[in-house]
A = this chain, B = another copy of it.
Amino acid sequence: MKRKGILLVVSGPSGAGKGTVCKELLNRNDNIDLSISVTTREPRPGEIDGVSYYFTEKDDFKKKIDEEAFLEYAEVYGNFYGTPKEKVFEKLESGRDVLLEIDIQGALKVKKIYKDGVFIFIVPPSMQELKSRLELRGTETRESMINRFESAYREINFVFSYDYVVVNDEVDLATNKLEAIIEAEKCRVHREKNFIEGL
C-alpha cells in the first residue's frame, strides 16, 4: 500500500530566511512539491499561470470560498490568495510531500483542517541577527524595518502552536534539519499504521 505524503507547513518572521531554506529543500528533494496558491491579483510580467500562481477572477475565488475549496485563504491589499485544498490532497494521496510556505494566520487555519500536517517555524539564531538581516536587505525605509522587526517579535510567540522550531543559522544546516524532520515524521507510528497492520 502506498504511503501518504506529508504536508509540511513552514512559517516564520520575515528575516528568518524561510524562503531561502524552503528553496534549498525543494532543490534537494524531488519528492516535495511546493503548493501553488490561487490568487485574484493580476499576473506580473513573466508570471505563468499554474507555475507562479493559479490566476483567477474574484467571483470565481468567492465561489470557491463558499465551496470550502481552500485549506486557507486571505485578503491582502484587496487581492485574495488561497491554498487549493483538492490539489494539495491529491498530491498527498499519491505519496508526494507538499510544502506550504505560508504566514502564521494561514498555518493556524490549516492546522484546524489538517491535523496530520507537520508545522515548522523558522527562527533566526538571535533577534540581533534578524535585525542585521533586515538591515542588509537595504530595500526598506527605516520605518518599515522597525515595523517588520516589531512584528517579528510578536510573531515569535506563535511558535508554540507549531510542532518544530528550526533555527536558521546557516541555510544548509537548517535544510538538513527540515530533512531530518521529514524522515523522522515518516517513522511516526500513526503514519505507519498500514505497514504495521501488514506485518
- Using a CB–CB distance below 8 Å, which chain A residues touch chain B? 120-121, 123, 126-127, 156, 159-160, 162-167, 176-177, 179-181, 183-185, 187-189, 192, 195-196, 199
Chain B CB count within 10 A is highest, among A184, A185, A195, A196, for A184
Oligomeric state, in number of copies? 2
Question: Given A164-B184, A180-B183, A183-B184, are A189 and B121 also a contact pair (CB < 8 Å)?
Answer: yes
Contact A177 B183 (CB under 8 A): yes
Minimum C-beta distance from A77 to chain B (A): 29
Question: Given A196-B159, A199-B126, are A166 and B187 also a contact pair (CB < 8 Å)?
Answer: yes
- CB closest residue in chain B, given A183: B180
Contact A164 B181 (CB under 8 A): no
Give the 4 A-B residue pairs with the shortest CB-CB distance, closest first. Answer: A184-B184, A180-B183, A180-B180, A164-B187
